[in-house]
Amino acid sequence: MVKRIGILTGGGDCPGLNAAIRAIVRKGISIHGYEIFGILNGWAGLLDGKIKPLGRDDVSGILHKGGTIIGTSRTNPYKRDDGVDKIKENMKISNLESIIAIGGEDTLGVAAKLIDEGIKVVGVPKTIDNDLKGTQYTFGFDTAVSIITEAIDRLHSTAEAHHRVIVLEVMGRHAGWLAVVGGIAGGADLILIPEEPFDINGVCEVIKRRHQSGRDFSLVVVSEGAKEKEMNEITSSKRKDEFGHEMLGGIGNVLSKKIEKITGFETRVTVLGHTQRGGTPTAFDRVLATRYGIAAIDLIAKDQYGFMVALVGGEIKPIPLKEMASGIKTVDMELYEIAKVFFG
């Protein structure tokens, strides 16, 4: 019997998801002779049995498109008593032999647990946050960095014209990769990240010194998860998602008010938000997502389950999903030290 493989995309969307889906479908059908099915809206589709066949025509013309043609959600099957049973039942009804889960820490965390239930899963790492252990890059990150870089370039000229401080709040829940890499690329004058809680007076000193030395404008990049020493992260809502994450956001506003009050310099804030996740993927993300998709379907062809495809030393290699699930990948502090050379 022809192998039937299900693909799902879970968690926050990111540019490159469609490129990965296209790669899996194209190689899965034409080289391996499989039947490929799209599971709609992440793990929710396996709980509700919302699964549809994906053929070559379905993945035509999607390489450059943002979002995901099969939808996504932050559904956690372990939040339902019968979640795992429902997944098994719906896989059986649809005759799915195995699943390729494309996701971040939450979606792939579920995949890592399902292996112990005897479910055959292969993981593909995506997230703009680039915070997955075991891989140098997740796809989506490069596109988000280029959006941040462009935003900083645009904010620089207006900050300079008005002699202002501009605070740019970027995404990145518990890891400051987007802020650090985007900030270095855009020439930020200060970058604040979750990994290193900051002292507000120290921040203002750096800005004051810069302005006193004749450069009377500043660009501060702050991760949504950055926080002042001995304080909690700022949240935009007390509501938590099914994986227990609070909705972060608001640090940019708090910070800009404090900077203006302490330094006396006129300060504005820009929150980049979901623009970082939308639209066309960069060439790098399209190629990385394609390589991951091909590697994932090839693992299935070799009957190798329980792995996530990862970028290691420039090559795509399988690493155990359990290794990915053992924690998150925080910012490389050597890279942050490079960013600090340009502070002030």
Minimum separation from the CB atom of position 81 to ligand F6P (A): 25
* Rounded least distance, CB 167 to ligand F6P, Å: 17
Query: What DSSP string runs through 49-67?
Result: T-EEEE-TGGGTT-TT--S
Element (H, E) at 268: strand 267-271
Q: Do 132 and 324 contact (CB within 8 A), yes or no?
A: yes
- Name the residue nearer to ligand F6P (CB basis): 129 or 195: 129
Q: Are 136 and 30 in contact (CB under 8 A)?
A: no
Least distance CB 192 / ligand F6P (angstroms): 15
Q: Characterize 286-310 residue by residue with b for buried, 16 or more Cβ atoms within 10 angstroms of its Cβ, and e for exposed.
A: bebbbbbbbbbbbbbeeeebbbbbb
The rounded distance, in Å, linking the Cα atoms of 89 and 49 is: 9
Minimum distance from residue 239 beta carbon to ligand F6P (Å): 10
By beta carbon distance, the residue nearest ligand F6P is: 171
Cβ closer to ligand F6P: 83 or 104? Answer: 104
Question: Known catalytic residue: 106?
Answer: no
Residues 308, 125 contacting (CB under 8 angstroms): yes
Q: Per the residue annotation, which of 48, 81, 106, 129 is the catalytic one?
A: 129
The contact set with ligand F6P (CB under 6 A) reads 12, 104, 127-129, 171-173, 224, 248, 277
d(CA 242, CA 60): 33
CB-nearer residue toward ligand F6P: 25 or 110: 110
Active site residues: 129
